[in-house]
Structure 1
């Protein structure tokens, strides 16, 4: 009887001295972080809006400098490359403007997303919040920038509205007009609303990109520099300021590789094509949906294993 009592006391003492098993590296904590992050929309919404206001504080025009800068760049590239490629500026300018605006959104989600937790170091140490809050802050800021930039696209559509429809009909009836299929634009129509689901996929992708790249960059500080170097190359490889059919027969293989095996092209196309009144190929949707699923899976793995370490890494 005494021995049994001694064994029980020893077992209780051992259990008392054994530290409890942490549940920080569980799927429940990872999914809980995402749920709490989306529920804290007032927090990340306010922080993202304050980022825009802080950037243009004491400015007379304010955030509309975003639109002016984007419009200047789009006009410069549009007139320059339309002359180099011998294309009609009234059809090429809407194409390059839409692509450039969407590209800026993707670029911001990737480059600023990689520094999401690094740039929020001070906030993370003084304001405990789910990691998803900081990723949503970054993406919400890019959405606000995109909203300002879309003003430029709307202005260009209004300016060339009468020309777009006539050029589209002429190209449809006369293949020798010289317009490339990538720049044809029938004008304003309800088909442009199909850009909304494409934009939703961009936002969904932007969140997992900020989460995944943010965690990796917090551990390895060279990653943001690598991304900055690569995006410059990817911009020229992706059909943003050129159309795939411009390469002709000689560059058919290069064109197919730059289009079919370039995921960023498909992300751009699911939004740009409806804005231009064009049809989105099923392959583009397949690539976007597939990469979104894979990306979210990797982001969840990163949250599961390293969520609790990010605050120490930054």
Structure 2
């Protein structure tokens, strides 16, 4: 007869999970992946302060400081807006907000992609010395890119004063769209960060691809202009619909410049977000424990 005072060894908490009689490494489970993301959110004081420190460090001893972010974006927006408004014969009051908001959002998107591919490589010292979740470094990156975006939003406010447009409750859609962009920034940095840490050729490849996508995305040109020309040009303009970054831009940019947003833009963005999150979870589940050895 079994002594009831002795603990049952099969009921003890094991570091690994038992699935159908086989031992599965607990570091390769979705439970640990989710725990990493939750632990990173719990350490928000750490990545909030680190993200803000990154900006101060970048502009240390500068007279204007982070205002250089706004100045650089504003000068580029005005230059490109003036040039392409003349080339496409579009009124500046209509085209300049389109270009400016597009550049502001593109800065956030491209920053998450390019810097996301090196997020773990750049934080090699912290990963090896600081006992924290991997997601802390991803949240830090997205937070830093969000601060850059907030600096650049000053340009949009000035444009709305100079070229006033009717902005209604639809403006709230841009806030929701920005929240979706930040969620996508997390999975993009997590997925590409893990892959680029293992395969170092991915980072320069993504950098070149982002430059190419800039010209393929309607930032300094509009799809409406191409459609109005009709014929083969209008048919080829539909190729822009295949670029997912176009839809990410539209859900934020259109409400900010007083234009309607077609529902299909949202459906495409939500579908891409779901697929991206799934891929990031798989990568985090499978390779989370290996990143410290790869950096």
TM-score by length of 1: 0.84
- Equivalent position of 2:235 in the other structure: 253
Alignment-derived partner of residue 55 in structure 2: 52
Name whichever of 82-91 and 208-217 sits farther off: 82-91
Q: Kindly indicate whether residue 268 of structure 2 is the aligned counterpart of residue 287 of structure 1.
A: yes
- Select which of 109, 112, 123 maps to 2:112: 109
Q: Which residue of 2 aligns with 1:25?
A: 28
Q: 1:124 aligns with which of 122, 127, 133?
A: 127
Match of 1:276 among 257, 274, 291: 257
Query: Is residue 51–residue 141 contact of structure 2 (8 Å, CA) maintained in 1?
Result: yes
Among 137, 141, 154, which residue is 1:138 paired with?
Answer: 141
2:83 to 80, 85, 98: 80
Query: Given the two structures, how large is their TM-score scaled by the length of structure 2?
Result: 0.89
Q: Shift of residue 60 of structure 1?
A: 1.3
> Matches of 2:203 and 2:124 in 1, distance apart?
15
| Structure 2 CA distance for aligned equivalents of residues 286 and 235 of structure 1 | 22
SS across alignment from 1:253: helix
Query: Which blocks of at least 5 consecutive residues in structure 1 are unaligned?
Result: 1-19, 162-185
Return the offset for 1:193.
2.2
- Separation in structure 1 between the aligned mates of residue 124 and residue 235 of structure 2, nearest angstrom: 46
- Cα distance in structure 2, aligned partners of 1:155 and 1:198: 21
1:166 maps to none
* Residue 302 (structure 1) aligned to one of 280, 283, 287: 283
Please say if 1:40 is aligned against 2:21.
no
Structure showing greater radius of gyration is 1
Corresponding residue number in structure 2 for 1:165: none
Aligned partners of 1:71 and 1:59: how far apart in 2?
Answer: 18
Q: Which whole-Å CA distance do the structure 2 matches of 1:22 and 1:232 have between them?
A: 40
Task: Indicate if the aligned counterparts of 2:167 and 2:255 stay in contact, CA closer than 8 A.
Answer: no
Deviations 1:167-193 (A, max 9, x none): xxxxxxxxxxxxxxxxxxx43433222
- In the alignment, structure 1 residue 228 sits paired with structure 2 residue 231: no
**Which whole-Å deviations, capped at 9, do the CAs of 1:42-61 have from their partners, x for residues lacking one?**
11111111000000011111
Asked if structure 1 preserves the Cα contact closer than 8 Å seen for 2:117 and 2:193, the reply is yes
Partners of 1:157 and 1:187 within 8 A in 2: no
**How far 1:21 moved relative to its partner?**
5.9
Quote how far apart the aligned CAs of 1:262 are: 1.1
The DSSP-based 3-state class of the residue aligned with 2:60 is coil
TM-superposed CA distance for 1:194, in Å, is 1.7
* Aligned equivalents of 2:75, 2:196: Cα separation in 1: 33
Question: 1:103-160, CA deviations, whole angstroms, 9 ceiling, x for partnerless residues?
Answer: 1110001101111101111111111211111111110000000000010111111112
Native 8 Å contact 2:196 2:203 kept in 1: yes
Give the length in aligned residue pairs: 270
Distance in 2, matches of 1:94 and 1:27, equals: 43
